[in-house]
Amino acid sequence: MLNERRNLLTAEQFAEVILNHLTSSQGKDPEHASIYDWRMALSLALRDQVIRPWFASTRTTYEAEAKRVYYLSMEFLVGRLIEDVATNLRAEDVAAAAMRSLGQDYGQVVRDEPDAALGNGGLGRLAACFMDSLATLGIPAYGYGIRYEHGLFEQHFKDGQQIETAENWLTQRYAWEFERPEVRYEIGFGGTVEKSGQTSKWIPAETIIASAYDTPVVGWNGLWANTLRLWAAKPVKVFDLDSFNRGEYLAASELEALARTISRVLYPDDTSEAGKELRLKQEYFFTAASIKDILRRLDSEGRVVRDLPQRVAIQLNDTHPAIAGPELVRLLVDERKLEMENAIDIARGCLGYTNHTLLPEALERWPEPIFKRVLPRHLEIVREIESAHLKASGSPVRILEDGDVKMGELSFIMAHKVNGVSALHSDLVRETVFEQLNRDYPDRILNQTNGITPRRWLHNCNPDLRILINDTIGTGWPADLEQLEKLVPHAQDAGFLEAFKAVKAKNKVRVANWLKSHHYIAVDPDAMFDAQIKRIHEYKRQLMNLLETVALWNEIRDNPNADWVPRVKIFGGKAAPGYVVAKQIIHLINDVAAVINADPQVKGLLKIVYPENYNVSMAELLIPATNLSEQISTAGNEASGTGNMKFALNGAPTIGTLDGANVEIRERVGAENFFLFGLTAAEVVERRKQQNYSAAAIAVSQRLSRALEQIENGVFSPGDPDRYQGLVQDLRQKDYFLVTCDFDDYFAAQRRVDSAYADQDSWTRMAVLNTARVGWFSSDRTIADYAKDIWNAHSLIGGARQPKGEVP
């Protein structure tokens, strides 16, 4: 058990470490160092402090013969790390003082760090929060993923439209990682399967190298550190000298370029066709490397494969690493000579699968011909897995169907536990996508409601609120977030409410200044900040928010003398490059913003801002400054949401539907502190069965009709009046996500928000109660429950908050 916190360095000592790195690692003297050099020196100095707990954790795990958790994820949306590491080491004051003593502005250096944008959205950010919580709870764990050279794209707006450029976070050195050139595995693709007697051997046609890069992830108080191991693709043969000598210079480097393609970019998850084969290769690449690494570690500890389920828990973050099942079975059967059924059982004993979406287009299916071309032996094994399943359960559900390999079914059948990510979502998983499989394996599905790390999402991103909370209830909450309940009585205390309001006001000024300096937009920090920041998707209904904005604009102009509550509508988010409708929605937001923001009649009352390139760091800035959190997806579509938790934690009440984790947030904060509207998931299903439901909804809503007509007649696109005809036609004729049906109720809920906001005391009380009552949504709670219910893994730090249940 580890329970000793190492003594912190003094600011003076730490300054010396920084200076040493500036000279020895960066090769600069203080006079000539750039902000980049200072940032590197600071990061490396912090990284040094993580090494000791990191080694100690590995040693402790080894000595305790503890079970390890392996979290396989195509995405880790890590963001910046300096503050994360500094605060988890409890060295933020020391680090800031050290930098000050060296004449540097700590905050500025912190903000110079580019985001590690190795993810799209919620799924990737969840993986990053889980890494923080695994380390905080002291559970031995590895995160395994891909070291994308370019992460997701960078978003720009040109004439209101999204433009994507390559994201270049790795053109600078990444201070946090250690390259492990000795940890490399050959990964094959394609080729043939050789049979001899009962045995099969895969002879791949093409081979590349998976090469490891390790980033230590230290938990709260610096007690424990795990590893995030990301794989980079490299060629087996780096350079072809023969081609070069023939003068074929491009050809000489071709092998390298081809191999590296595999770890170049992260595909936006919701596009359909593009790069299908490449994506399958990426999935196999990182999964196969991880499984090989897991087996190598098992071997090195002198264990046999029979022990796997006792030693190893592998969690599949969605279906992207689903090939882990067949790959593990392949290695056990073809290389370790186990019987097929035995191998399948052992693999299942290790595997858990988390489902993050019910959207059919996001449930992966690979056309058999592609699958066979890339992974011929795995296709045979999938057939074996399918027949073992059919035989054991008598189920009619197949993995191979209509010419596709269905990765959801494969993951379900190969996992001993399958979980959804909110109570509602898990129910829907049972009732819809996996209805039959749930009947076949009734104990397999369980719920694990998502969570967020309180370190990044309150302690670090909202320093003034942190101080206020510390002063009010003490400092235990970052490791035990439900202690925030102790704030509840303070919601009646006028002095506390004033202080809470002042924090929010200060955070809003910070955002107003940033909008002015970085985006040349002026906003009034006294206006209500109303934010919808997330990926742009039809089901998330940014379009409904925008229609409400247009309707409000009309209303204000019709009644200029009414008592309007000034609002700033903040949008943020990227659309997948191939998602045409989402990109049109972005264009429309920017077009509407241009017209409304230029209208003198609503000046000071209504403003739309949409800063480009939303990412984790922008969220950390915007969330603490937000008054109203928009969580308005069509019920039954948002698996959980985690932004909803971040806003509530930072004192922004939600306007939302009964979808995903909104349901549980509302139960906890209290219905009176949540602005509910809209159809329920069951009503959505019923409504979709009706004929012409959108036409009917539009017919009864004058406000909606008017807004739609304005958009389709070019009021917001005078130079190109037909620009949005298709978008509006779709709402009139189909409207799959029921924007029109929920519109009036949403508009009414927004007016309830207006009146509630007008009474600032009661609004602040609502905000406080949101903060006070969402402690349950800490990812520490989520991880403790995964450890108990799925992994049977345990904390190895004494005195830490233990996972509920038994501890060795």
Query: Which residue ranges make up the site for ligand NTF (CB under 6 A)?
Result: 121-123, 126, 269, 318, 356-357, 362, 421, 450, 638-642, 660
Which lies closer to ligand NTF via its Cβ, residue 351 or residue 503? Answer: 351
Q: Is there a contact between 540 and 516 (Cβ–Cβ < 8 Å)?
A: no
Considering the complex, what minimum distance in angstroms separates the CB of residue 431 from ligand NTF? 17
Q: Which residue lies nearest ligand NTF, judged by its C-beta?
A: 122
Q: Which residues contact 704 (CB under 8 A, 6 or more apart)?
A: 547, 551, 697, 698, 740, 743, 744
Considering the complex, what minimum distance in angstroms separates the CB of residue 422 from ligand NTF? 8
Considering the complex, what minimum distance in angstroms separates the CB of residue 265 from ligand NTF? 16
Considering the complex, what minimum distance in angstroms separates the CB of residue 638 from ligand NTF? 5
**DSSP label at 603?**
T
Considering the complex, what minimum distance in angstroms separates the CB of residue 318 from ligand NTF? 5
Q: Is there a contact between 111 and 36 (Cβ–Cβ < 8 Å)?
A: no
Q: Is there a contact between 209 and 233 (Cβ–Cβ < 8 Å)?
A: yes
Distance, CA of 647 to CA of 656 (rounded, Å):
12
Q: Is there a contact between 381 and 345 (Cβ–Cβ < 8 Å)?
A: no
- In angstroms, the Cα distances linking 262 to 48, 312, 327, 375, 568 are 31, 27, 18, 15, 42
**DSSP label at 94?**
H
Distance, CA of 246 to CA of 266 (rounded, Å):
36
**DSSP label at 403?**
T
Residue ranges of alpha helices (H) inside 331-375 are 340-350, 368-374
Other Cβ atoms less than 10 A from the Cβ of 289: the count is: 27
Do strands 417-420 and 445-447 pair parallel, antiparallel, or not at all (unpaired)? parallel
Which lies closer to ligand NTF via its Cβ, residue 87 or residue 450? Answer: 450
Which lies closer to ligand NTF via its Cβ, residue 160 or residue 420? Answer: 420
Q: Which residues are bridge partners to 188 per DSSP?
A: 207
Distance, CA of 314 to CA of 336 (rounded, Å):
19
Considering the complex, what minimum distance in angstroms separates the CB of residue 134 from ligand NTF? 16
Which lies closer to ligand NTF via its Cβ, residue 429 or residue 527? Answer: 429
Considering the complex, what minimum distance in angstroms separates the CB of residue 119 from ligand NTF? 9
Q: Which residues contact 167 (CB under 8 A, 6 or more apart)?
A: 117, 150, 151, 152, 153, 154
Considering the complex, what minimum distance in angstroms separates the CB of residue 73 from ligand NTF? 10
The tokens describing 534, both together, are 């997330």
Considering the complex, what minimum distance in angstroms separates the CB of residue 345 from ligand NTF? 28
Among 144, 152, 147, 156, which residue's Cα sits nearest to residue 168? 152
Distance, CA of 638 to CA of 177 (rounded, Å):
34
- In angstroms, the Cα distances linking 71 to 231, 308, 338, 470, 535 are 14, 15, 25, 33, 23
Which lies closer to ligand NTF via its Cβ, residue 57 or residue 73? Answer: 73
Q: What is the dihedral of CA 461, 463, 467, 472, to 10 degrees?
A: -30
Q: Is there a contact between 335 and 298 (Cβ–Cβ < 8 Å)?
A: no
**CB-based burial, 3-42: b 16+ in 10 Å, e otherwise:** eeeeeebebeebbebbbebbeebbebeeeebeeebbbbbb
Which lies closer to ligand NTF via its Cβ, residue 53 or residue 119? Answer: 119
Residue 239 amino acid letter: F
- In angstroms, the Cα distances linking 85 to 78, 95, 100 are 12, 11, 18
Among 545, 707, 561, 554, which residue's Cα sits nearest to residue 628? 545
Which lies closer to ligand NTF via its Cβ, residue 377 or residue 666? Answer: 666
Q: Is there a contact between 640 and 425 (Cβ–Cβ < 8 Å)?
A: yes
Which lies closer to ligand NTF via its Cβ, residue 87 or residue 317? Answer: 317
Please identify which residue in the block is written with the tokens 């800063």: 611
Q: Catalytic amino acids?
A: 356, 534-535, 540, 642, 646
Considering the complex, what minimum distance in angstroms separates the CB of residue 682 from ligand NTF? 19
Which lies closer to ligand NTF via its Cβ, residue 74 or residue 628? Answer: 74
Q: Which residues are bridge partners to 144 per DSSP?
A: 72, 229
Q: Is there a contact between 491 and 772 (Cβ–Cβ < 8 Å)?
A: yes
Which lies closer to ligand NTF via its Cβ, residue 130 or residue 571? Answer: 130
Considering the complex, what minimum distance in angstroms separates the CB of residue 498 from ligand NTF? 34
Considering the complex, what minimum distance in angstroms separates the CB of residue 354 from ligand NTF? 7
In terms of phi and psi (left: phi > 0; alpha: psi -120 to 50; beta: otherwise), the region of 228 is: beta
Which lies closer to ligand NTF via its Cβ, residue 332 or residue 415? Answer: 415
**Greatest CA separation for the chain:** 88
Q: Is there a contact between 539 and 588 (Cβ–Cβ < 8 Å)?
A: no
Considering the complex, what minimum distance in angstroms separates the CB of residue 357 from ligand NTF? 4
Give, for 198, the enclosing helix (H) or strand (E). Answer: none
Which lies closer to ligand NTF via its Cβ, residue 79 or residue 121? Answer: 121
Which lies closer to ligand NTF via its Cβ, residue 53 or residue 121? Answer: 121
- In angstroms, the Cα distances linking 433 to 37, 397, 641 are 51, 11, 19
**Phi, psi for 608 (deg, rounded to 5):** -115, 130
